[in-house]
Amino acid sequence: MSGRLHVSPANAEPLAVSRDPRATSHEPASSAAGARVWVLGSTVLKILGLAVFAFLLFGPLANLALWSVAERWYTPFKLPVSYGMRYWEVVFRPTGDAMSSLMTSVGIACLTVMVALAVSVPAGYALARLKLPWRTALMILFLLPQAFPSVAIYINVARVFYSIGLTGTITGVVLVHAAHGLVYSVWIAAAAFAAVDRDLELAARNIGASPLRTFFTVTLPLAAPGVMASAIFVFLESLDEFTGTFFVGVPQITTLPLLLYNASMGGNYQIASITALILLVPSVVFMFVIERFLKADVLSKVGQ
């Protein structure tokens, strides 16, 4: 992991340079010397800020990318000794573990989303619309799995699951992931439903729609973007989840994070890096999608 420090500045530098021309074009605009110093100072600060941001964002990524193509890289050298795509081939080999654990991961994530939605859509609607006496307590209940150290929880969960035969099964892992993801999915779904103007529902009821019909033709379509966003959060959380899978799923279930863990423990940084990069793809893609779905009016109601 020592490569990170050496590689990242090299990556950040071109970015800082590319900002420079714009900064100098600002300079002659101000005539007073004081203002000039001010502009220059703020420009330098901006460049520094960008450099730090770029370092934090791209540094780890560059390190991963470099490790994934490094065939040999040892201590005295600041860059890999020899490059090659050998490990990519190992990972993507049809008989390799990576592809099958990727499939397992995605499958578990999809099932987790379904379970979470089955709870969060009715629960979110109830929390948003009905006058529930224990509303705050219920909201906190969904937060609880996140509030305690996860290892302490999962040891107990594993113990209970073992006694009912759920350890080492997809069902067990899905349940653990769903419990973990429910806080996002319920809170965001509740906010999405709360953001739907009640008059829109009343207008449907008023001209003859039953409550159920109103829900499926008006409320749900209007809350769909927020519900979608919550589903994506749950999907990503499930894809990334390690602790719960480790305690409940091992050894029968191998997800991508578990594979990554095994590879790292075995000192195989190349395989670990490639696995991490694969895990990164859905995260980045979905983050762009979420950004489109989650509107300010929904975000402002999260946790209310």
Partner 1 sequence: MDSSVLAAIDVDHLQVSYGSQRVLHGVSLSVAPGEFIAILGSSGCGKTTLLRTIAGFQKAAGGAIRLSGRDVVNMPPEKRGMAMMFQSYALWPHMTVLGNVGYGLRLRGLPKEEIRARVASVLKMLNLSGLEDRKVTDLSGGQRQRVALGRALAIEPGILLLDEPLSNLDAKVRIQLRSEIKSLQNRLGFTAIHVTHDREEAMTMADRIVVMDAGRIAQVGSPKEVYDRPNSPFVASFMGAENTLDLDVRPSGAGVEVRVDDSTATALGADVPVGHVTAYFRDDIASLVDPHARIDGSIVLPGKITQRTYPGGHYRYVAAIGDRHFTVTDDRYHELDRPVGLRLPLASLHLFPKTQTTGGHHA
What is the enclosing helix (H) or strand (E) of 192?
A: helix 170-194
- Buried/exposed code over 136-168 (b: 16+ C-beta within 10 A; e: otherwise): eebbeebeebeeeebeebbeebbeebeeeebbe
- Minimum distance, C-beta of residue 175 to partner 1, in the bound complex (Å): 34
Q: Is 130 in the site for partner 1 (CB under 8 A)?
A: no
**Residue 259, CA atoms < 13 Å, CB-side half-sphere:** 27
Q: Is 195 in the site for partner 1 (CB under 8 A)?
A: no
**Residue 235, CA atoms < 13 Å, CB-side half-sphere:** 21
What is the enclosing helix (H) or strand (E) of 83?
A: strand 82-83
278, 282, 284, 290: CA torsion to nearest 10: -170
Separation of alpha carbons 20 and 28, rounded Å: 14
Q: Is 276 in the site for partner 1 (CB under 8 A)?
A: no
Residues numbered 256-275 forming contacts with partner 1, rule: CB under 8 A: none
Q: Residues 94, 208, 251, 267: which binds partner 1 (CB under 8 A)? A: 208
Contact 232, 290 (CB under 8 A): yes
Q: Residues 82, 100, 156, 217: which binds partner 1 (CB under 8 A)? A: 217
Q: Residues 222, 250, 277, 299: which binds partner 1 (CB under 8 A)? A: 222
Q: Is 132 in the site for partner 1 (CB under 8 A)?
A: no
- Minimum distance, C-beta of residue 226 to partner 1, in the bound complex (Å): 13
Q: Is 200 in the site for partner 1 (CB under 8 A)?
A: yes
Give the per-residue contact string, 145-184, with partner 1 (x = CB under 8 A; - = no). ----------------------------------------
Comparison of 42 and 217: residue with beta carbon closer to partner 1? 217
In the complex, the residues that contact partner 1 under the rule CB under 8 A are 197, 199-200, 202-211, 213, 217-218, 221-222
